[in-house]
Chains A and B, each alone.
Chain A
Amino acid sequence: MKKLEVFDPPMCCSTGICGPSVDPALVRFAADFHWLAGQGLVVERYNLAQQPQAYVANPTVKAALAQYGNRCLPLILLNGAIVSKGCYPTRKELAHMAGIDYAEPVSLPVIQNGCC
């Protein structure tokens, strides 16, 4: 079974509602992540402020942090390999990474390389 891991930057909570304003990208991603979990993938999400051990325990993540600093977060790993750095992909992009068929419900133009 495929495994997707998200290593977030340090945050108070995963939707960012605790900040001075809500970040819509975080809210959207929280929902997309949850959707992904329902597609037969093993998904895990870590928060640097709350689970630093997970970052230290993963050599790939630890090395990326040492090389790029916090800028590389969020890091997304598929089966242990980095597939995305420094941004939150859209649901379509996530589906593409994980090899899941996904049809965009609305046919608005989508920028494919909006990430990284």
Chain B
Amino acid sequence: MTYTDLLDRATRILFFTGKGGVGKTSLACATALALAESGKRILLVSTDPASNLDEVLGVELSGQPTAVPGAAGLYALNIDPEASAKAYRERLVGPYRGVLPDAAVNSIEEQLSGACTVEIAAFDEFTKLLGDAAATSEFDHILFDTAPTGHTLRLLKLPGAWTGFIATNTTGTSCLGPLAGLQAQRSLYESSLRALADGSTSTVVLVSRPEPSALTEADRTRAELSQLGVSNQCLILNGLFVAQDRSDPAARALESRGRQAVEGIPAGLAALPRLEIPLLAYAPMGIAQLRGIFPVAQPSGCVVAQPSGCGNKSSSTVPLSALIDAIEEAGHGVVMTMGKGGVGKTTVASAIAIELAHRGHRVHLSTTDPAAHLAVTVEKPVRGLQVSRIDPAVETARYTAEVMAKSSAHLDAEGIALLEEDLRSPCTEEIAVFSAFARTVAEGEDSFVVLDTAPTGHTLLLLDAAEAYHRDVARTTSDVPEAVRQLLPRLRDPRFTRVLLVTLPEATPVHEAARLQEDLLRAGIQPFAWVVNQSFAGDGFRDPVLVERGARELPYIGEVRDRFSSRLALIPWSAEAPVGPERLRQLANSRADLYE
């Protein structure tokens, strides 16, 4: 299909989903803009806790529709789950200020600061837009720039899970906040569900890069959504590259990697209507550049590339291996890779773990990212390296069993049924994953633990939870596991935990990582270093599109070095997919010279 087909066939509601970094936001914005310019009124919604819609559209957004300057008919809003939770909390607590004693009001507020409140509040907002026709009646189309896949799925799955939960909950106990409130909203939830499953109302636009892991992820989403009854789907393949300079081996490799990925596209995805978008030399920012996505602009010609090779050779960055040297000195500890989805956290974490193992250390490589694929990246067993993942389903089952074992001795059959009911609530998973995270971090006491964390939003919730738990733990006398008690102090100890912020040399990931750094500093965690991944800025590229990309990276690399971190590692883009111990070690040791 062509982009005009996409616009002509657009249903009232469009969801853009895909692995982090595939260009969901850019494509959702470009589609929204094109629809608005065809005379429609459009509402563009971000539900990502780490949204960068503001930056891409060049306007400050809030929870209310804001007109986007320079684009008549286009409105955008940001559902910030934290802010929604705050508003939700105030709605509940406000009427009791001055009525109940202050201590009672404060304690209510504290109880409503947990992860489940955030989830309920965000879902409330989401449902309002989806299920309440009156709230959005003035718009012809509503586009959701949804968060990275794990989060998206949870959000989309929630109406199903909760409708089921409400229907089967007979005892009135629940973690879901005011159950009475939920019951009252039930019809709203049900209409959300219907809107999702109705193909004449909703379309899910799966966005993917021409890379096997992103395509696999997109196919998993496709299958999962189909199972939930959401069958109106299409695929946008973003960033197909055609080498302009056939003499550039890197350009030929990039082209053939893309072509191979497209040939190996999973059958289910291949059957969907598909739109292909060529690789741009830049990540589009602002209305003018967003317009350039669809009526395909030839990137060369519009901007004169600064050829690499002129300017002064600079040595302001180091290879990843130099960071590993510093990490290795302590002999043990935790390394965490953080950053926006799709920047290569998994690759960087795997490369560090493999290099440490190669140097003779005992290393545990693990992940909290539901969409991560460590085993695929590491490929085969490495001496001294243990690979695992914190699987929410497994951890929830383990936690449930643990609680049942500890408590069921005191209970009769009815009591057990009651406890089981409470354990079915959504926050059980959050707690279970959190405990597993704490246990894994504790292993850093006597060996190396390398943790590939989930994309930003989830990571923040995790840290937030750590803070809340820390407060709780300080108060309670019941038997809290030592690992949980020690978690926050460990994360705050710069000799124990080393946080690496991973980014691509582009505006959005750099600025998201910078925001993440601020949040970490507020939580008392000082990041150890930054890693700029997949850079074209080094010497060795001739293709005009790639050279231009490289030249456009330099300001962002400079910004990181000057403003965010004096310890900066740069990983050059490599023609080979960074999979398997040999290539990961190459990646850790490869160095790029910049000309600035």
Contacts and interface: CB of A to CB of B under 8 A. Distances in A.
A21 interface: yes
A24 B96 contact: no
A85 B414 CA distance: 26
B174 A24 contact: no
B428 A17 contact: yes
B302 interface: no
B419 A18 contact: no
- Chain B interface mostly helix, strand, loop or mixed? helix
Contact of A30 (B179, B419, B478, B481): B419
A52 interface: yes
Contacts of B422: 13-15, 17, 30
Given A55-B100, A56-B96, A17 B107 contact: no
A55 B104 CA distance: 10
A109 interface: no
A51 B108 contact: no
B116 A27 contact: no
Interface in A20-77: 20-24, 27-28, 30-32, 34-35, 38, 45, 48-52, 55-56, 62, 65-66, 69-70
A31 B111 CA distance: 22
B260 interface: no
Choose among B172, B418, B425 the residue with the greatest number of A CB atoms under 10 Å from its CB: B418
Contacts, number: 130
Contacts of A55: 100, 104
Contacts of A62: 100
B487 to A, nearest CB: 10
A30 B415 contact: yes
Given A10-B108, A27-B415, A48-B104, A19 B476 contact: yes
Given A18-B431, A20-B469, A31 B415 contact: yes
A9 interface: yes
B473 interface: yes
B103 A69 contact: yes
Contact of B175 (A18, A20, A45, A70): A18
Interface string B165-182: 000000111110111100
A11 interface: yes
Given A20-B480, A24-B406, A65-B100, A50 B177 contact: yes
B96 A52 contact: yes
B22 interface: no
A18 B428 CA distance: 7
A17 B480 CA distance: 12
Contacts of A56: 96, 99-100
A99 B93 CA distance: 37
B466 to A, nearest CB: 11
Nearest to A55: B100
Residue from the set A23, A52, A55, A66 with the largest chain B CB neighbour count within 10 Å = A52
Contact of A18 (B116, B171, B412): B116
Given A49-B108, A51-B178, A35 B472 contact: no
Interface residues of A, number: 36
Contacts of A100: none
B174 A13 contact: yes
A12, A20, A50, A69 pick with most chain B CB within 10 angstroms: A20
Given A15-B173, A21-B481, A65-B100, A52 B108 contact: yes
A13 B114 CA distance: 12
B9 to A, nearest CB: 44
Contacts of A32: 415
B101 A69 contact: yes
A18 B177 contact: no
A31 B412 contact: yes
Given A34-B414, A65-B101, 9 more contacts: A10-B108, A14-B174, A18-B175, A31-B410, A49-B112, A52-B96, A52-B104, A52-B108, A65-B100
Q: Which 6 A-B pairs have the closest CB atoms?
A: A31-B415, A49-B111, A13-B175, A10-B111, A15-B422, A14-B173
Interface of A: 9-15, 17-24, 27-28, 30-32, 34-35, 38, 45, 48-52, 55-56, 62, 65-66, 69-70
14 contacts: A12-B114, A12-B116, A13-B425, A14-B422, A18-B114, A22-B407, A24-B406, A24-B407, A27-B415, A31-B418, A34-B171, A35-B412, A50-B179, A69-B101
Interface of B: 92-93, 95-96, 99-101, 103-104, 107-108, 110-112, 114, 116, 171-175, 177-180, 403, 406-407, 410-412, 414-416, 418-419, 422-423, 425, 427-428, 431, 469, 472-473, 476, 478-481, 484
